[in-house]
Structure 1
Amino acid sequence: MEHFEFLYDLLIVYAVAGLVVFAFQRMHIPPVVGLLVAGLVVGPSGLGLVGDQERVQLLAEVGVVVLLFTIGLEFSLSRLKTLGREMLAIGVPQVVLCVAVPTLATRWYLGAWGPALFTGMLVAMSSTAVVLKILIERGEVGTPHGKIAVAVLLLQDLLVMVFMLAVPLLSPEAGEAGWEGVLGQLGLGIGVVFGILIGSQFVIPPILLRVVQTRNRELFLIFIFLFCIGMATLTAWAGLSLALGAFLAGLAISESEYAHQTLAEVLPFRDTLSSLFFVSVGMLLDLQFLATHLPLVSATVVAILALKFLAVAMPSWLVGYPLRTGTLVGLSLAQIGEFSFVLANRGMEAGLLSSDDYQAFLASAVLTMALTPILIAFGPMASTGLERIPAIQHLSEKRRSRRLADEPALPTESIGDHVIIAGFGVAGRNLSRVLQGVDIPYVILEMNPDSVRRLRGQGQPIFYGDCTKAAVLEHAGLDRAKMVVVVISDPDATRRAVRMARFLNPNVYIVARVHDIEDIDELRRLGADEVIPENFVTSIELFDRVLVEYQVPRNLILDLIDRVRSDQYQILRAARPVRLDMPFSLAEGAGVESCLIPEQSPAIDQSIAELRLRSLSGATILAIRRGSTDLVNPDPEIRLRGGDVVVMFGERSQLDLAFTLLAPETDLPPPQGRHRSLS
């Protein structure tokens, strides 16, 4: 009967979670917040619908193990290398500041360095799930602030394991055990970690290869879960956390050829069980505590948002990124992350957090996550407001003038009729290569200072600068440029760049790339001569290839592409079929078939003229493939040989009749699937 009660609890949890997440999705609130609210609804502070919370939390613990396993799977050395500079220059200062400031601020209140340092560790984490989801929806992952956010989040995810490892050392019990006990426990833990990593290199791959060779999906999945849970159990036995072992197991497989398949198999379990973890966290939130300590929670939320904003924005500005980029990435990472909940649970078990402190943390963390979409949407307006502050405006202008003064002057002979490329991602690089190949002069404006230094050393005419600023565009020779091509990933910056370029030079030809079709008309109003939606360009390439394969006349395809581009893709934006003026149907008409001449064919040693294939069947021989040689428009006197492939043209009935003459023993399938229409 107890089992039925537990199933009833799970049914209630997932039903309420589904309804709340669906409602929050309509309001553009992150799903993680919805899961926390769902836990609040079903928990004792809400409606009290769940009776056996311990079992739900036990299953949620398995969700944490699977979650950390997938995090390990998604790590790779190549990914760390590409984001290494941002991780070190911005991510490390962010973590240090977010750990140090709360530690110093709470030391007097908590009365010991261990709990104070643990508080800083909780604050340092930001939400990978919430931030990446919002950035992807807004199409901003490829922007400068999107790349910085990904780098910082990646570093934080990596440090989760370090923080997990530090929890037992910070607990009051560690001091009671003495340094010998602490060092002994730490040594055992490190030994287990190294043993797992070494075994993963030399023991697991051969076993996994044997499992994969069986081509048994169930066996593969069983082994993966056995490996994950086994490593988690081993680290727990060594006095570390279950999550650390799961992370190491994922990390061990991440560089193997089985990583992608493993991730695909585990993802459904991760999403299901990790959602249960966030619900279980929400069940622990005490509404009565929140009501009675609202001033404390509100002050904590404001302090966390301010600290985390400055901890990311300031290093970004100091490294060389503009005020706008630092502001956007600072607001994006100002919340408490989901892994802080995992840490908080460990802290409660280790005695680092009291019940009241835990409740204050939960309430503050949930509120910061709920505010994240609002902060990110407010980012462009906030950066514009900061730029208007006289002191900041003065510093920005002084910094920009210093940078422009350090830039080498453009040679006068190459400055006329040039192209200004704003943004040097994949599209910008490809365009510069084409322009270089046809000797068209160009100038590149890029916001990544590291890329500018590297490419300047390679001889590229690239300059550091914000293409939305008048001084930067003037320095790039906008008054003498023939064209400006804006290929940056930030939609708001694209609009500002187009507006500024048109204001400074009414005669320059402006081309802008956008991700969202809703931006087309607005950019045209702001002054863009040509707006290229990225998805629609891909669509043109797709239907071009498909129609060519179906042998639609090439001139009709080119005419359709011209019509699509001439009216700014209005044909594709309208929700109606795109019609081609074809006086025929693709499903009917003539087609092309090829026939292999078997050794027993009566056509062997007969010439094309002697076969009289056209007069007997109506089909025409277009070519003969003999070995590696193609005989196009073959001479009528050529004699057929066994193994020749005859390519014929005709209607379906004619081609079927020709098959019976060339290969009479062939059992022809229904004609619908065999003929390739030429129409």
Structure 2
Amino acid sequence: TAAVLSMSLAPFMIKFNGKITKFIHKDSYSNNHQGIENTIIEESKYLSDHVILCGFGRVGQTVERFLHKANHPFVVLDMDIKRVHEAHNAGEAVYYGDAAKQSILMAAEINKAKVMIITFSDFHATLKIIKTTRRLNKDIPILVRTLDDSHLNELFEEGATEVIPDTFESSIMLASHLLLMIGQPPSRVLRQTRQIRQDRYKILENFYPGEDDNPMEQHQVMKGIIHSVLVEGSMYAIGHRLEDLDLESYNVKVEAIKRGHVRGENPSGETRIRDDDHIVLSGLIEDIERAEKYLITG
């Protein structure tokens, strides 16, 4: 019975553990919290144009080392007590504090900071930090690291200035090294990678799905897929021009048309569809399914 009761209470305890702790240890919690704020205030009061670095895991520590080398002032906020203790004892400007709390950000001189960077991958925690930051400082650039692009729009809508997905950046880095190895000029490689980032990774959004890919999971992680539709027999699309088919109204893009052994990228609207053409579409799975049905039956 005790085991069953503890299992049933577990979700409640996890959800409200912070509030329960505050209630049971009201005085000590208040004092400790104030002490944390005072420490951050004392260490940050002379800072200006500094970076507020949220999260001190592997990514956060890597960023911090670059800031050290650049000799740029910063303050780090993290919620892992052991990590903060180790780093602080080693002389690092790392403090225990919830960056989603207004009082902690004010203690870190959010209104005098130059940039905020959020380096952990917890989407909901990141969203809270962005919202709190924007209430206090509407203009500060907020740089956000994510695992993938599944929440890009939400993060931008709440006030993120730039969002860097791990999956895309690792792919860009790998491709950049490859291009340099095959003899591409560094200036061209730099220009290409810069353009991809300026376009917010649009070129990397859609992928060919494999047998092991879960469609629902892919839908959440990626913007969409790439799918080739073979036009043959008595399909509606045969004989029509692309502009007349108006596939954009289905929220899909015609990436290419493969005719025989020739693939034509970004075909013009004047292109007339022939029997045995492959129309290469990109978009969300459900939109591609609707567009394919239209190409078949009209």
Please tell me the residue identity of whatever aligns with 1:305. M
Q: 2:286 maps to what in 1?
A: none
Q: Among the aligned pairs, what percent are the same residue?
A: 27
Q: Which has the higher strand share?
A: 2
Cα–Cα, structure 1 residues 563 and 397, in superposed 2: closer, same or farther, change >3 Å? farther
Q: In the comparison of the two structures, how many residue pairs are matched?
A: 210
Q: 2:146 maps to what in 1?
A: 514
CA distance in 1, matches of 2:71, 2:31: 35
1:538 equivalent among 167, 170, 176: 170
CA distance in 1, matches of 2:24, 2:55: 25
User: Contact 2:145–2:164 at 8 Å: present in 1 too?
Assistant: yes
User: Contact 1:387–1:393 at 8 Å: present in 2 too?
Assistant: no
User: Secondary structure of the residue that 2:111 maps to in structure 1?
Assistant: helix
Q: Which has the higher helix share?
A: 1
Structure 1 position 404 matched with structure 2 position 37? yes
User: Secondary structure of the residue that 2:149 maps to in structure 1?
Assistant: coil
| Aligned CA-pair RMSD | 3.2
Matches of residues 557-596 of structure 1 in structure 2 within 5 Å?
557-575=189-207
> C-alpha deviations, 1:444-465, integer Å up to 9, x for none?
0011112222211111111101
Cα–Cα, structure 1 residues 504 and 549, in superposed 2: closer, same or farther, change >3 Å? same
Q: 1:489 maps to what in 2?
A: 121
Structure 1 position 478 matched with structure 2 position 180? no
User: Secondary structure of the residue that 1:474 maps to in structure 2?
Assistant: helix
Structure 1 position 305 matched with structure 2 position 7? yes
Q: CA deviation at 1:523?
A: 0.7
Cα–Cα, structure 1 residues 406 and 444, in superposed 2: closer, same or farther, change >3 Å? closer
CA distance in 2, matches of 1:432, 1:466: 18
CA distance in 2, matches of 1:465, 1:491: 18
CA distance in 2, matches of 1:578, 1:454: 52
Q: 1:434 maps to what in 2?
A: 66
CA distance in 1, matches of 2:165, 2:183: 27
User: Contact 2:50–2:114 at 8 Å: present in 1 too?
Assistant: yes
Please tell me the residue identity of whatever aligns with 1:401. Q
Please tell me the residue identity of whatever aligns with 2:205. R
CA distance in 2, matches of 1:467, 1:542: 33
CA distance in 1, matches of 2:24, 2:140: 31
Which one has a bigger Cα radius of gyration? 1
Matches of residues 245-644 of structure 1 in structure 2 within 5 Å?
300=4, 303-306=5-8, 308=10, 327=14, 382-383=15-16, 387=19, 391=23, 399-405=32-38, 409-410=42-43, 412-413=45-46, 415-575=47-207
Q: CA deviation at 1:394?
A: 6.3
Q: CA deviation at 1:558?
A: 2.0
Q: CA deviation at 1:502?
A: 1.7
Q: CA deviation at 1:407?
A: 5.1
User: Secondary structure of the residue that 1:551 maps to in structure 2?
Assistant: coil
CA distance in 1, matches of 2:106, 2:36: 14
Please tell me the residue identity of whatever aligns with 1:483. V
Please tell me the residue identity of whatever aligns with 2:69. G
Cα–Cα, structure 1 residues 389 and 433, in superposed 2: closer, same or farther, change >3 Å? closer
User: Contact 1:421–1:442 at 8 Å: present in 2 too?
Assistant: yes
Q: CA deviation at 1:535?
A: 1.0
Q: CA deviation at 1:490?
A: 1.4
CA distance in 1, matches of 2:39, 2:78: 15
CA distance in 2, matches of 1:561, 1:578: 21
User: Secondary structure of the residue that 1:421 maps to in structure 2?
Assistant: strand
User: Contact 2:45–2:109 at 8 Å: present in 1 too?
Assistant: no
CA distance in 2, matches of 1:516, 1:400: 34
Q: 1:235 maps to what in 2?
A: none
Q: CA deviation at 1:488?
A: 1.4
Cα–Cα, structure 1 residues 402 and 452, in superposed 2: closer, same or farther, change >3 Å? same
CA distance in 2, matches of 1:403, 1:424: 17
> C-alpha deviations, 1:422-462, integer Å up to 9, x for none?
00011111111111112100000011112222211111111
User: Secondary structure of the residue that 1:460 maps to in structure 2?
Assistant: coil
User: Contact 1:571–1:578 at 8 Å: present in 2 too?
Assistant: no
User: Contact 2:41–2:108 at 8 Å: present in 1 too?
Assistant: no
Cα–Cα, structure 1 residues 553 and 494, in superposed 2: closer, same or farther, change >3 Å? same
TM-score normalised to the size of structure 1?
A: 0.29
Please tell me the residue identity of whatever aligns with 1:559. R
Structure 1: give runs of 5+ residues left out of the alignment: 1-101, 106-122, 124-299, 314-326, 328-381, 580-679
CA distance in 2, matches of 1:456, 1:390: 25
TM-score normalised to the size of structure 2?
A: 0.62
User: Secondary structure of the residue that 1:507 maps to in structure 2?
Assistant: coil
CA distance in 2, matches of 1:304, 1:551: 63
Structure 2: give runs of 5+ residues left out of the alignment: 208-225, 227-253, 257-298
Q: CA deviation at 1:401?
A: 2.0
Q: CA deviation at 1:391?
A: 4.8
Please tell me the residue identity of whatever aligns with 2:157. R
